[in-house]
Amino acid sequence: MLLDVQTAFQNSARRDFPAVVRRLVSPLGFSGMLLASATMLLWQFIAPESKVIARNPASSQLQTAPVSNSPGGTLASRPALNNFPVNIQSNVLNTVVLDPAHGGTDPGARGTGGLRESDVVLQFTAQIRRALELQGFQVVLTRLGDADPSFDDRSAMANAQRGAVFVTVHISSTGLPGTARVYVAEDQPPMNGPIAEPTGLIPWDQAQEPFLGLSRKLGDVVQGLLAQKFKGSPSVAQSAAVRQLRTTAAPAIAVEISSVSVEKREDLDRMAPGVAEAIARGIVTFKPSYVVASTATPLQSGTPVASPTGAPR
């Protein structure tokens, strides 16, 4: 009985084999396979960033690792990030990490007309990226599509860069439409002892502390330029305990544009070129301050952490 079944199977397989081969090598199937292979090959070349973000396992691989990101070489402990491109060329400001806030299941602010903050910021960051690249900066985006990396994942992408500033872009749900505000992290005394650990590492949760001076300088420059373009915007940056900024070991600002409550989406879209230009020009203006700070504060590993502005903590 068993033998009969095996023989029948072998006969059937022998009979069907040419049919399978014919189907595989038929012009339609063959060209389909060729097209799929070509697409995959092309994707490897044209989308290296999206590939890296998809493979980023930061949240599941938290461990302490030293990273040098400050102009003065401040050490910070951070979640280890494998396979992310690290710019280790120089201490000069040449990279901008752009963070389109929210994404994925987190839409952020939602307008009555169905506008979602997570969608609008993608358009804004696309324009900001172009403006920055025109000024010669390398731009790293924390997300490309509708993904939602965690706060720590986004900070880890910034902390892996050297010679970088971080800009997170938001759209508010309140406020005077047509205005833009820049926020920097609040200068709070650390609650759990001194910021520098005996190892010279900065606790991940206080990564922004040594950069507050530079962040304030960058924020004021960008806010001043935004105020010139958008009447009703404040003239200097404001302080706020923005979660995303706290774990970022680089000069970091949050830019919030008002608002998803606009009557027409076009009203927001019209702001995008002005916002992009102000941010790009602001970072260009800020660039010399970053270089001066880097030469002013050489830092040896194991010594108390010095702020990039030169003042020891």
Partner 1 sequence: MNPRWRAWIIAALAAAVVAAALYFPSLRNHVKQAAKITQETEEQARRELTQPFLAKPGEPRIRAKLYWASHADDEALTPVSVELPLGNDPVLRAKQVLNTLLAGPVDSELRTLPPDAALLEFYLLPNGTGIADFSEALATSTPSGIASERLAVQSIARTLEANVPQVKRLKILIHGQEVDTLAGHLDLSGTFPLSPTSAPPATKKP
Residues that bind partner 1 (CB under 8 A): 102, 106, 108-110, 117, 151, 170-176, 181, 183, 188-189, 191, 205, 234, 238, 240-244, 246, 254, 256, 258-259
Q: How far is the CB of 181 from partner 1 (least distance, A)?
A: 6
- Give me 173's structure tokens: 């749900």
Closest to partner 1 by CB, 183 vs 286, is 183
d(CA 264, CA 102) in angstroms, rounded, equals 22
Q: How far is the CB of 219 from partner 1 (least distance, A)?
A: 13
Residue with the two structure tokens 């090598």: 25
Closest to partner 1 by CB, 117 vs 153, is 117
Angle at 275 between CA 274 and CA 280, to 5 degrees: 100
d(CA 281, CA 275) in angstroms, rounded, equals 10
Q: How far is the CB of 294 from partner 1 (least distance, A)?
A: 28
Q: How far is the CB of 265 from partner 1 (least distance, A)?
A: 18
Provide the CB-side half-sphere exposure for 54 (13 A, CA). Answer: 8
296: Cβ contacts below 8 Å, ≥ 6 apart: 72, 309, 310
Phi, psi of 114 (to 5 degrees): 90, 5
Closest to partner 1 by CB, 66 vs 190, is 190
**What SS3 class is residue 181?**
strand
Closest to partner 1 by CB, 70 vs 258, is 258
Closest to partner 1 by CB, 188 vs 228, is 188
Q: How far is the CB of 101 from partner 1 (least distance, A)?
A: 8
- Give me 52's structure tokens: 């890296």
Identify whether the C-beta of residue 268 lies closer than 8 Å to the C-beta of residue 171.
yes
Identify whether the C-beta of residue 178 lies closer than 8 Å to the C-beta of residue 134.
no
Closest to partner 1 by CB, 131 vs 180, is 180
Closest to partner 1 by CB, 155 vs 294, is 155
Identify whether the C-beta of residue 117 lies closer than 8 Å to the C-beta of residue 108.
yes
Q: How far is the CB of 27 from partner 1 (least distance, A)?
A: 47
